[in-house]
Structure 1
Amino acid sequence: MTTAWAGRRDSTARRPRPRGVWIASGIGIVLVLAVALGAYLPLVGFLGGVTATTAGLVPFPFIRITLVTLLGVVVVLALLLWALTRRHTVTSVFAIVLVVLVSLAVTAYPVVTIAIASADRAGDVWPIITDLWQRFTS
């Protein structure tokens, strides 16, 4: 059976991408940009500002956050490319869901990392405070 898009059987014509692939990919790109510009950049800026105003009491693990961000960018771009090159809408939508989940995980990583590092730092600060209190009261 020959269809309109396939041409002759011996031709190398490929099936065109369905409109759903383009729509899903466009929505994915918009969502990734919204998460990056609306959540990630302001959040990292805020956390960097908190670190600066507390004179280092709240740590900012710059290298780890940068590495996770770069890895996240590579994974997101690969998944977006995968979504754009699919010939089935369902596969493209699945890739876009993964793209959004990865971008949200990369956005949450700095908060979790700084919270854990701050808790460790607070554990280190408490013995110093009790020692100073004992010196002051004795």
Structure 2
Amino acid sequence: MTTAWSGGRRPRDRRPRPRGVWIAGGIGVVLVAGVLLGAFLPLVGFLGGVTATTAGLVPFPFLRVTVVAVLGLVVVLALFALALTRRHTTTATIAVVLAVLVSIAVTIVPVVLVAVGSADRAGDVWPIVTELWQRFTG
């Protein structure tokens, strides 16, 4: 007979992960990869190309985009690790949905940063244009 004080332990059988956890994880990986390959990389390439063709008039904040992408990667991987270590399908599904939402948010951030940078740059350009116009017209 084993008591709490005798130090003996009965091995506990852990129940296996439900199939829904693996399905949710697989669907999440496919969706995040789709967002990465179908939206994030083409968008960043396009914005970088726009910056190159406008000779820097449209700024591309490379460092900020890189930091956001790396932080997003860490959060998405942590959410996937959380999802695949759960024993309830609902918890795993919530973590996977959050991972997909984070990947979409990370995809939107470069557009917002370029738009804000362009607006700031346009605000700097307008006084120069008006000054040149006044010099030209006398």
**SS of the residue aligned with 2:100?**
helix
Larger radius of gyration: 2
Q: d(CA) in 2 for partners of 1:114 and 1:99?
A: 24
What per-residue deviation string (whole Å, max 9, x for no partner) do you get for residues 14-43 of structure 1? 110001101000000000000000000000
Report the counterpart of residue 98 of structure 2 in structure 1: 98
Q: d(CA) in 1 for partners of 2:118 and 2:88?
A: 46
Report the counterpart of residue 81 of structure 2 in structure 1: 81
Report the counterpart of residue 57 of structure 2 in structure 1: 57
Q: Deviation at 1:13?
A: 1.9
> Which amino acid is 2:23 matched to?
I
Q: Alpha carbon RMSD of aligned pairs, Å?
A: 1.0
Report the counterpart of residue 118 of structure 2 in structure 1: 118
Q: d(CA) in 2 for partners of 1:60 and 1:12?
A: 56
Matches within 5 A, 1:1-138: 10-138=10-138
Q: d(CA) in 2 for partners of 1:58 and 1:12?
A: 61
Figure out how many residues of one structure are paired with residues of the other and give that number: 130
Q: d(CA) in 2 for partners of 1:22 and 1:110?
A: 32
TM value normalised by structure 2: 0.92
Q: Deviation at 1:12?
A: 2.7
Q: Percent identity?
A: 73
Q: d(CA) in 2 for partners of 1:50 and 1:17?
A: 47
**SS of the residue aligned with 1:36?**
helix
Report the counterpart of residue 3 of structure 1 in structure 2: none
| Structure 1 portions without partners, runs of 5+ | 1-8
Runs of 4+ deviating beyond 4 Å: none
What per-residue deviation string (whole Å, max 9, x for no partner) do you get for residues 50-92 of structure 1? 0000000000111111001000000000001110110000000
Q: d(CA) in 2 for partners of 1:26 and 1:13?
A: 26
TM value normalised by structure 1: 0.92
Q: d(CA) in 2 for partners of 1:27 and 1:16?
A: 20
